[in-house]
């Protein structure tokens, strides 16, 4: 038998956890056991034996930047009515946690521009308290971080990825079109002051930041931050030619090796990056190389958009609608069944291609739809 318990969070509206979730209060601390009827509480294992333990949730497709490799300048965003409510996002995430997700990353668009985002984050943090979830984290452009850093730390967030592609204010404005580097820097300061571990993410872009990469690494490591470099992926129509932007990280790594000693280390954060330690700086440097080194064999992730569409692979079009099963029933059994069906279709890997012959993006949606 499943049971639903209503509870009220301090200062927050009454929140209804999904039915099928049994909430047990012990000594004032909240612990929550998630069980579902029909045996749908099984963990998620795809046809290639990969355990799905990592969920990325795009909480909005909107953003206060327009990074040139990510969005066109005049993006058309989804009508607000199509978005899942914060309660629905919570219910969806909770169902995934009940099915074995241990790491949850909120992303976007820019997650911190979603209205009342702290409501969702505080609510999800109950799964950290019970130990059901090991990590709740965000990828952000940092523009709103000064305002949110302390609240995020108080809600149990421990680590953040902040995306910064250059430390030059003019170049930053050019690459983000609308961004202000000073604000992002203040956000990083505030995050570190609040005790959050910040990792810097930078997309490697030919002719834009290639010569700056070593100084960015030195800067990040000097501030006690890990840094990860990302290869640009062919997602969505943008105003520029991606072949002009694409910089293989194999080349970047070879260039860095001439100046520094890069030691491979087994360090993992649950994501796709492979890490080295830079002997000279003592810091960690990650490489996310979807183009030059396919990391699909160890993929443990799925992604949900802000409209409840589940993408089993960032680099494929196949997707499953979870909004309908979410809305059509108060319980989560239908939702759990649909998730199981989707996981049984998770493809082996992506087919990203960037070359002069291939003019169309490998997937038509922008990165801001599924989140990075």
Q: Are 159 and 174 in contact (CB under 8 A)?
A: no
Q: Are 157 and 138 in contact (CB under 8 A)?
A: yes
Structure-token match 């680590």, residue found: 159
368 binds ligand SF4 (CB under 6 A): yes
113 binds ligand SF4 (CB under 6 A): no
Please pick, from the candidates 52, 205, 235, 302, the single residue that binds ligand SAM as defined by CB under 6 A: 235
Q: Are 208 and 171 in contact (CB under 8 A)?
A: yes
Please pick, from the candidates 53, 60, 141, 144, the single residue that binds ligand SF4 as defined by CB under 6 A: 141
Using the minimum distance from each CB to ligand SAM, give the nearer residue, 139 or 300: 139
107 binds ligand SAM (CB under 6 A): yes
Shortest distance in whole angstroms from residue 91 CB to ligand SF4: 24
Q: How many Cβ atoms from other residues are within 10 Å of residue 30's Cβ?
A: 14
- Helix (H) or strand (E) holding 118, with range, is helix 117-124
Shortest distance in whole angstroms from residue 160 CB to ligand SAM: 9
Output Rg (C-alpha) for the chain, integer angstroms.
Answer: 20
Q: Which of 230, 159, 161, 173 is nearest to 200 (CA)?
A: 161
Residue nearest to ligand SAM (CB): 372
Q: Are 226 and 200 in contact (CB under 8 A)?
A: yes
Distance (Å, whole) CA 184 – CA 68: 18
Q: Which stretch binds ligand SAM (CB under 6 A): 44-52, 103-111, 129-137, 269-277?
A: 103-111
Residues 51-70 that bind ligand SF4 (CB under 6 A): 63, 65-67, 70
Task: State the DSSP string of 25-68.
Answer: EETTEEEEEE--GGGTTPPPB-TTS-B--EEEEE--S--S---T
Please pick, from the candidates 46, 90, 110, 338, the single residue that binds ligand SF4 as defined by CB under 6 A: 110
Binding partner of residue 66 among ligand SAM, ligand SF4, none, CB under 5 to 8 Å per kind?
A: ligand SF4
Binding partner of residue 36 among ligand SAM, ligand SF4, none, CB under 5 to 8 Å per kind?
A: none
Structure-token match 């129509």, residue found: 237
Q: How many Cβ atoms from other residues are within 10 Å of residue 290's Cβ?
A: 21
163 binds ligand SAM (CB under 6 A): yes
Known binding residue 105? Answer is: yes
Residues 114-153 that bind ligand SAM (CB under 6 A): 139-141
- Which residues contribute to the annotated binding site for [4Fe-4S] cluster? 63, 67, 70, 296, 299, 313
Residues forming contacts to ligand SF4 in the complex (CB under 6 A) are 63, 65-67, 70-71, 108-110, 141, 163, 368
């Amino acid at each position: 038998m499943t049971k639903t318990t209503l509870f009220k969070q301090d200062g927050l509206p009454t929140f209804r956890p999904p039915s099928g979730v049994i909430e047990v209060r012990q000594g004032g601390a909240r612990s929550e056991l998630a069980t579902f009827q029909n045996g749908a509480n099984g963990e998620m294992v795809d046809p290639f034996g990969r355990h799905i333990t990592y969920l990325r949730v795009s909480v909005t497709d909107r953003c206060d930047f327009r990074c040139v490799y990510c969005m066109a300048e005049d993006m058309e965003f989804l009508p607000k009515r199509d978005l899942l409510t914060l309660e629905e996002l919570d219910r969806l995430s909770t169902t995934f946690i009940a099915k074995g997700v241990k790491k949850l990353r909120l992303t976007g668009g820019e997650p911190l521009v979603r209205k009342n985002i702290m409501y969702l984050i505080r609510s999800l943090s109950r799964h950290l308290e019970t130990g059901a979830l090991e990590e709740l984290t965000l990828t952000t452009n940092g523009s709103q971080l000064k305002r949110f850093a302390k609240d995020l730390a108080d809600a149990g967030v421990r680590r953040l990825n902040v995306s910064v592609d250059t430390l030059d204010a003019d170049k930053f404005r050019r690459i983000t079109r609308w961004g202000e580097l000073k604000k992002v820097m203040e956000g990083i300061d505030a995050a570190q002051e609040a005790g959050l571990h910040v990792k810097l993410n930078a997309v490697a872009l030919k002719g834009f930041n290639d010569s700056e990469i070593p100084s960015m690494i030195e800067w990040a490591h000097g501030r006690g931050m890990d840094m990860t470099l990302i290869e640009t992926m062919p997602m969505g129509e943008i105003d520029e030619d991606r072949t002009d932007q694409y910089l293989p990280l194999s080349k970047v790594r070879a260039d860095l090796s001439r100046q520094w000693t890069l030691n491979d280390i087994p360090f993992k954060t649950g994501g796709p990056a492979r890490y080295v330690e830079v002997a000279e700086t003592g810091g960690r440097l990650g490489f996310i190389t979807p183009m030059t080194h396919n990391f699909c064999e160890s993929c443990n992730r799925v992604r949900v958009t802000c409209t409840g569409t589940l993408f089993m692979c960032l680099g494929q079009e196949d997707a499953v609608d979870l909004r309908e099963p979410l809305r059509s029933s108060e319980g989560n059994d239908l939702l759990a069944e649909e998730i199981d069906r989707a996981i049984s279709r998770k493809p082996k890997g992506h087919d990203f291609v960037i070359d002069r012959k291939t003019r169309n993006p490998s997937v038509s949606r922008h990165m801001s739809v599924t989140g990075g």
